[in-house]
Amino acid sequence: MIQRRGLFAAAAGLTLAAPGLTRAETWPARPVRLVIPYPPGGGTDIAGRFLGNKFAQILGQPVIIENRGGAGGMIGTRAVGQAPPDGYTLLFNGTVSIVRDNFDPRSVVDHVVRVVATHNILVVNHTIPARTVPEFIAYLKANPGRVNHGTSGPLASQHLAAVMFDLLAGTRMENVHYRGTGPSVVGILGNEVQVMFGSMSAVLPLIQDGKLRALATSSAQRSRMMPELPTVGDFVPGYGSELTYSLCTPIGASEGLKRRLEEMVKIALEDETLVAEMATRGFEPQYEIGESLRRSIEADMARWVDVASRAGLTLG
């Protein structure tokens, strides 16, 4: 474990000559922009700010957070893909993605290192009487199409989690698409929608305050933060919807820069204070790089394309 005193010494040895800089300069020689492709308040934003603040300490340069929400994360992803691959524009986004509108996000950004995982939590507001997943399924079947589900955008993780639920449970919810998790939380509190598969970081404080009721986690495994909470898969065989986050660069970044980013994330996740702070919002370190990460992303994308196809969703 690298302690706080040793962290900066370790980082100091990780200098990198960056494209466009003179031999005397090292990356970063100026502030770094970290794009989060969702509005403030959601899980991507919360986890990204944790990471951005730690990067600023490691690098000795400001890390400027820029929220570019819309289209289920595609607007911010495209923007990063158009930036020079010099390390001064990075993307922090959910690893689960999908090819749609003839756009494959892997054509413009590289997922360099997986950072953390969290859970989407199936939550309902006070208008839904169900207190268990079986009760919720029965309620949906008795009220087909009359319960609104809030998403962070079309074909984003929350949307696909609900689509998979309907597909496997034989229910039908109406999906209402927002520009991110933060706005969808406002929607469920105001009863525009009655249910969400919300990221734990966004809904945990509301569960603790009694404003939302948690029914289950969408992940295949129970949450360390809420071990008493069952999984959807405990009641709906075959269900599992994990949510992880990665640090990405525009296509064309040098291998040296990628190795530097991998090492920075490793140093950050070895900071006990940071890990403890992230845990209070439901984030669990999940470091993965290289070929292993590539295979994981391909498997995720294939699974969600299959779910979308079976549900009759249009991707092209």
**Based on the number of CB atoms within 10 Å of its own CB, is 143 exposed (0-12), middle (13-18) or buried (19 or more)?**
middle
Residues 244, 95 contacting (CB under 8 angstroms): yes
Residues 252, 86 contacting (CB under 8 angstroms): no
Report the C-alpha gap between 101 and 20 in whole angstroms.
Answer: 34
Reply yes or no on whether the pLDDT at 211 is more than 90: yes
- Per-residue confidence (pLDDT) for residue 287, from 0 to 100: 96
Q: What is the pLDDT of residues 242-274, one digit of tens each?
A: 888 999 999 999 999 999 999 999 999 999 999
Reply yes or no on whether the pLDDT at 98 is more than 80: no
The whole-number average pLDDT for the span 218-236 is: 92
Reply yes or no on whether the pLDDT at 6 is more than 50: no
Q: In this structure, how many other beta carbons lie within 10 angstroms of the beta carbon of residue 4?
A: 11
191 pLDDT tier (thresholds 50, 70, 90): very high
Classified as helix, coil or strand, 260 is helix
- Per-residue confidence (pLDDT) for residue 10, from 0 to 100: 47
83 pLDDT tier (thresholds 50, 70, 90): very high
Q: Is the dihedral of CA 161, 222, 283, 80 positive or negative?
A: negative
User: Which residue has better confidence, 307 or 23?
Assistant: 307
- Per-residue confidence (pLDDT) for residue 70, from 0 to 100: 81
Reply yes or no on whether the pLDDT at 30 is more than 60: yes
181 pLDDT tier (thresholds 50, 70, 90): confident
Reply yes or no on whether the pLDDT at 20 is more than 70: no
Averaged pLDDT of the chain: 89
Reply yes or no on whether the pLDDT at 209 is more than 50: yes
- Per-residue confidence (pLDDT) for residue 43, from 0 to 100: 85
